[in-house]
Structure 1
């Protein structure tokens, strides 16, 4: 497996990866919601910013991706997905470490994200990488807005959390 920047012709493959990975999350949450992929424009913008990374198999076919963006002085993780067949093999960890490296190279203050509090490959996984849960008093306004938007779109407010790995 190798990590590299995503290519423009791979955006539709990344949508397929996201939909495939959603099955694991739906199982963990016990929900039967339809999977939705990020809009191609979001992935394209992330790629233009140099913050769309793919994990590729031996045939150089993407098996996972991380899409991010710079917000303020942070690297915000928009989405991290790995196809079910490759989950629990360190692919997500390597992609997250690549995001942390990119944030450090850009001299940002840290990496932030929103996630599920309980699913083992969500908040507990990010904690294992050094991320901390953010209470309202330490949460940047853009993360509060992201959480509010997720809840407005039907996510459980008791399960959604914001997390950060601060460098300073």
Structure 2
């Protein structure tokens, strides 16, 4: 990545007036997961209630271009002392430029500042831009017996929506 490309976007807290823009980002990014075989369902997006909660907790970050238009986002929610990453998406034309990593770094920093014990998420174990990406940030996969009930419930909800149980995992980064 050239210096110009890196400076062509900024990571910042999302504003409430931007929430309506995030579904389009999530749906655009969905197709990459679909093509990788990670999902076999119709695209969905986070509820407005989850996004509002994430904003209220100062855990909704956006990647914006030089015109301050969002093209990626990360939504975190505090759960059981940790920050759960509910969603991380970057539109296809901005992928593979380090945007997802910078969004995750912002969430990790915010979780530390807010006194969380770590971060959790669920993801696809096989797609390179999912579990292997999170592992590069220090996350580790939780075995069934290590997984807290809240993450088991999230996984079960994902299975009910069409996610492949053989591919989905819960991951944690502890501080």
- TM-score when normalising by structure 1: 0.95
Q: What residue is the counterpart of 1:105 in the other structure?
A: 113
Cα separation, 1, equivalents of 2:149 and 2:40: 31
Q: What residue is the counterpart of 1:124 in the other structure?
A: 132
Is contact 2:41–2:162 with CA below 8 Å preserved after alignment?
no
Q: What residue is the counterpart of 1:41 in the other structure?
A: 49
User: Could you list the per-position Cα deviations for residues 56-113 of structure 1 after superposition, in whole angstroms to 9, with x for gaps in the alignment?
Assistant: 1111100100001000110000000001000000000000011110111011110100
Cα separation, 2, equivalents of 1:27 and 1:108: 34
Q: What residue is the counterpart of 1:17 in the other structure?
A: 25
Cα separation, 2, equivalents of 1:34 and 1:108: 33
- Give the counterpart of 1:149 among 148, 157, 169: 157
- Give the counterpart of 1:86 among 69, 89, 94: 94
Question: 1:30 deviation in Å?
Answer: 7.1
- Give the counterpart of 2:80 among 67, 72, 84: 72
Q: Which moved more, 1:148-157 or 1:61-70?
A: 148-157
Cα separation, 2, equivalents of 1:119 and 1:65: 19
Is contact 2:38–2:163 with CA below 8 Å preserved after alignment?
no
Cα separation, 2, equivalents of 1:30 and 1:144: 18
- TM-score when normalising by structure 2: 0.92
Q: Looking at both structures, which has the greater relative contact order when contacts are Cα pairs under 8 Å and sequence separation is at least 6?
A: 2
Q: Which runs of 5+ in 2 are unaligned?
A: 1-8
Q: What residue is the counterpart of 2:62 in the other structure?
A: 54
Cα separation, 1, equivalents of 2:108 and 2:131: 16
SS in 2 for 1:130: coil
Aligned-residue Cα RMSD (Å) equals 1.2
How many residues align structurally? Answer: 167
Q: Which runs of 5+ in 1 are unaligned?
A: none
Q: Following TM superposition, where does structure 1 have runs of at least 4 consecutive aligned residues deviating by more than 6 angstroms?
A: none
